[in-house]
């Protein structure tokens, strides 16, 4: 099979159609990612455009050039719109059809109709604009950790740049095209058509990979994030804490575990309803994140119980952070959704300055300290200590055990 424009036209038609159907099929399996639907229709629109281009010489220029290019621009606009929708941005109907409408209007100007170079320049500018806009949309969403974004951005930018080369290459073509064979015989047009076909195939599979990567990322996130508060759930907290413990073995640093429980939370649900109870949990999670350091681990362990792992922190500093957290929520939980909730928390603190960071053991110590805080009035922090554990076993506790803090 000879690699000429006629052959490439036929191959491109089949490839565009198949890719469009493939993308629509992928969207039908997961309709949550609507950008894939836009990309599928973009390929089908481009298929229609290539079919009309292939009729050059046997149909009026109004169809094979004007309408074909308008559909081509609409296809690139649909790809750009799909990138916007993919990242949660609204559809822009005006800009969606702006390229096609601009082309159809400009094509009526006499100097445009008579000059091939001007028509090529306008067409290249419109395609390049939409292609670069698509790359920009993906660039704007780079905060989402999708590896496949980067090859998509690079390929879109590079392809848009290559489109600009088509205008100077027009100067090589004959000024007056009296038959379709003259246009098809251009080696440059063959090369550019082949590049366009390769780009179409590559970007379609990259977009599919991006959609698949997002789905997998959301599944992983759903498995590791508490849906109400947006913080780590128990599984994620313990997993991350285990990773911290492994690093601790190579570089021991003092650490502390906080176990936090919202006081009388069942009573809050009973008095104000579960909707307000959910808002109280959200308020606490936000108050805690305002106090904790970026390097600290924080998660919801279940119900109204939360945990935090503080690394490279002294016993005194851990208690200060816990106290700031308690005070912060006492203020934030005073009124929630215009309800006088008066929410408070009790916090158990367990500290470790040894070479081994045993998170489960620290959680157990913090749990015993938390129990002591709840039994002794709530709305207080309690540091795990030998004196505390001795009193829990029935011995007489000291009047003020070291590290114990209470709030009346």
Q: Which tokens hold the place of 171?
A: 């100067």
Q: What are the helix (H) ranges across 225-296? A: 234-250, 265-272, 274-291
Judge contact between 184 and 6, C-beta under 8 A.
yes
pLDDT of residue 263: 94
Judge contact between 311 and 357, C-beta under 8 A.
no
Catalytic member of 144, 243, 282, 304: 304
Judge contact between 238 and 359, C-beta under 8 A.
yes
Cα 70 from chain centre: 33
Judge contact between 370 and 388, C-beta under 8 A.
no
Other CB atoms closer than 10 Å to residue 72's CB: what's the count? Answer: 24
pLDDT of residue 298: 96
Judged by DSSP in three states, 208 sits in helix
pLDDT of residue 400: 35
Task: For the chain of 408 residues, list the mean pLDDT of each consecutive stretch of 10.
Answer: 66 91 92 92 93 84 86 95 94 92 82 71 89 95 89 92 70 47 50 75 92 87 88 93 90 94 93 93 94 93 95 94 94 90 94 91 94 92 74 45 37
What's the rounded Cα separation, in Å, for the pair 192 and 382? Answer: 72
What's the rounded Cα separation, in Å, for the pair 5 and 192? Answer: 10
Q: Between the CA of residue 30 and those of 20, 35, 87, 286, what are the distances in Å? A: 16, 11, 16, 32
Judge contact between 163 and 127, C-beta under 8 A.
yes
pLDDT of residue 188: 53
Q: Which tokens hold the place of 278?
A: 């959910």
375 in active site: no
pLDDT of residue 276: 94
Judge contact between 333 and 279, C-beta under 8 A.
no
Judge contact between 253 and 183, C-beta under 8 A.
no
What's the rounded Cα separation, in Å, for the pair 8 and 318? Answer: 69
Q: Which tokens hold the place of 209?
A: 């990979």
What's the rounded Cα separation, in Å, for the pair 319 and 404? Answer: 9
Q: What angle do CA 392, 394, 399 make, to 5 degrees?
A: 75
């Amino acid at each position: 099979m000879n690699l000429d424009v006629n052959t490439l036209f036929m191959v491109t038609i089949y490839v565009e159609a198949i890719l469009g159907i493939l993308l629509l099929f992928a969207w039908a399996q997961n309709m949550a990612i609507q950008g894939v639907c836009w990309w599928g229709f973009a390929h089908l629109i481009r298929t229609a455009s290539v079919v009309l281009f292939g009729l050059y010489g046997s149909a009026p220029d109004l169809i094979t050039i004007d309408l074909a290019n308008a559909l081509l621009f609409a296809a690139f606009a649909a790809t750009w719109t799909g990138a916007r929708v993919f990242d949660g941005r609204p559809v822009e109907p005006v800009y969606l059809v702006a390229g096609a409408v601009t082309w159809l209007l400009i094509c009526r100007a006499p100097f445009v109709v008579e000059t091939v170079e001007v028509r090529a320049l306008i067409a290249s500018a419109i395609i390049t604009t939409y292609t670069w806009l698509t790359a920009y949309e993906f660039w704007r969403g780079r905060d989402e950790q999708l590896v496949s974004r980067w090859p998509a951005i690079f390929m879109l930018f590079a392809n848009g740049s290559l489109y600009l080369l088509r205008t100077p290459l027009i100067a090589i073509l004959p000024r007056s095209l009296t038959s379709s064979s003259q246009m098809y015989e251009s080696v440059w047009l063959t090369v550019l058509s082949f590049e366009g076909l390769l780009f179409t195939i590559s970007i379609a599979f990259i977009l599919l990979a991006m959609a698949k990567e997002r789905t997998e990322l959301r599944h992983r996130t759903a498995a590791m994030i508490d849906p109400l508060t947006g913080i780590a759930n128990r599984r994620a907290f313990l997993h991350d804490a285990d990773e911290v413990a492994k690093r601790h073995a190579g570089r021991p640093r003092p650490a502390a575990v906080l176990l936090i429980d919202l006081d009388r939370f069942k009573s809050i649900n009973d008095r104000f309803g579960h909707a307000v109870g959910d808002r109280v949990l959200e308020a606490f999670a936000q108050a805690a994140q305002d106090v904790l350091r970026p390097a600290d681990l924080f998660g919801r362990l279940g119900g109204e119980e939360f945990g935090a792992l503080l690394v490279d922190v002294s016993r005194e500093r851990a208690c200060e952070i816990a106290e700031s957290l308690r005070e912060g929520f006492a203020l934030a939980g005073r009124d929630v959704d215009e309800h006088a909730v008066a929410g408070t928390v009790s916090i158990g603190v367990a500290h470790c300055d040894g070479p081994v960071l045993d998170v489960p053991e620290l959680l157990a110590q913090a749990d015993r300290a938390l129990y002591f805080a709840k039994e002794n009035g709530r709305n207080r922090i309690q540091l795990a200590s030998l004196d505390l554990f001795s009193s829990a076993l029935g011995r007489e506790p000291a009047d003020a055990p070291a590290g114990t803090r209470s709030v009346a």
